[in-house]
C-alpha cells in the first residue's frame, strides 16, 4: 500500500517552543517536520497542528505553525479526546453539491471522507503523539508515522513508541518516502520543487 496526496492529511503534533530544547536531536526533527509541511503545501495536502497546554509549553514553532490551516489547543494528551478525529473527518469530506442539497433527505447520499489517510509527525513520540495515533487507529483512520520528523527527550522512549505503533497497525515512513509516494511520478508538476526541498 502506497500513500497518495489526494487521500492524505498531515497532522503536526506539539512542536512547541518550550518543549523543543529538551527533545533529542530537536534541530533535525524540526527541520524534517518543516520539509514535510512544505511538501504538503506544494502537493495540496491539508495540514493541521495541535498544541499541548500552550499556556505552559508555548505555541508551536512559528515556521511550522504557518503551514497549518488550523491548530487545536488541547489539555488531553490524546488530541482525539478534544475532537481531532471529527475535525479530520470534516476537512476530508467534500461539501454536497447544490443539486444534492435540493434533493429530498432520504435520497441524499452521505458524502464519503476522501482523506482517511493521516500522516503524523510530532512530539513527544511516546506521550501525546502515541496516544493520538492509537486513537486515530481506533477511529479507523489509516495512520502513517513519519519517524524522522518525530522526537522525544530520549531515543529509548521514541523507539519504544515506534515499536508499539507498528504493532498496532501504523505504517512507519520517512519524509522522503512520503514525498516520493505523494508525487507518484517524476512527471508531477511539483517534482523539481519537492526534490529541491529534500536534497
State the cell numbers at 171.
505504517
In order along its 199 residues, the chain shows pLDDT tens digits of 899 999 999 999 999 999 999 999 999 999 999 999 999 999 999 999 999 999 999 999 999 999 999 999 999 999 999 999 999 998 755 555 445 555 555 445 444 557 999 999 999 999 999 999 999 999 999 999 999 999 999 999 999 999 999 999 999 999 999 999 999 999 999 999 999 999 8
Structure letter (DSSP) for residue 189: T
- C-alpha 105/C-alpha 100 separation (Å) is 9
Domain 5-93+112-198: which topology? Answer: Rossmann fold (3.40.50)
SS3 75: coil
105 close to 138: Cβ distance less than 8 angstroms: no
DSSP codes, 12-34: EE--BTTTGGGSTTHHHHHHHHH
- Domain coordinates in residue numbering, the chain: 5-93+112-198
Amino acid at each position: 500500500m502506497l500513500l497518495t496526496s489526494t487521500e492524505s492529511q498531515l497532522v503536526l503534533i506539539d512542536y512547541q517552543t518550550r518543549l523543543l530544547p529538551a527533545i533529542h536531536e530537536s534541530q533535525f526533527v524540526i527541520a524534517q517536520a518543516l520539509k514535510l509541511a512544505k511538501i504538503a503545501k506544494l502537493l495540496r495536502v491539508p495540514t493541521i497542528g495541535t498544541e499541548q497546554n500552550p499556556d505552559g509549553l508555548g505555541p508551536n514553532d512559528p515556521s511550522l505553525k504557518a503551514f497549518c490551516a488550523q491548530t487545536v489547543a488541547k489539555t488531553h494528551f490524546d488530541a482525539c479526546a478534544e475532537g481531532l478525529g471529527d475535525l479530520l473527518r470534516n476537512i476530508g469530506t467534500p461539501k454536497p453539491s447544490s443539486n444534492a442539497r435540493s434533493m429530498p433527505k432520504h435520497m441524499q447520499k452521505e458524502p464519503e471522507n476522501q482523506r482517511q489517510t493521516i500522516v503524523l509527525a510530532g512530539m513527544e513520540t511516546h506521550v501525546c503523539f502515541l496516544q493520538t495515533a492509537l486513537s486515530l487507529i481506533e477511529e479507523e483512520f489509516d495512520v502513517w508515522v513519519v519517524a524522522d520528523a518525530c522526537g522525544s527527550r530520549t531515543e529509548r522512549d521514541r523507539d519504544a513508541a515506534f515499536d508499539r505503533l507498528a504493532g498496532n497497525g501504523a505504517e512507519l515512513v520517512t519524509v522522503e518516502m512520503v514525498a516520493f509516494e505523494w508525487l507518484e511520478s517524476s512527471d508531477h508538476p511539483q517534482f523539481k520543487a519537492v526534490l529541491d526541498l529534500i536534497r
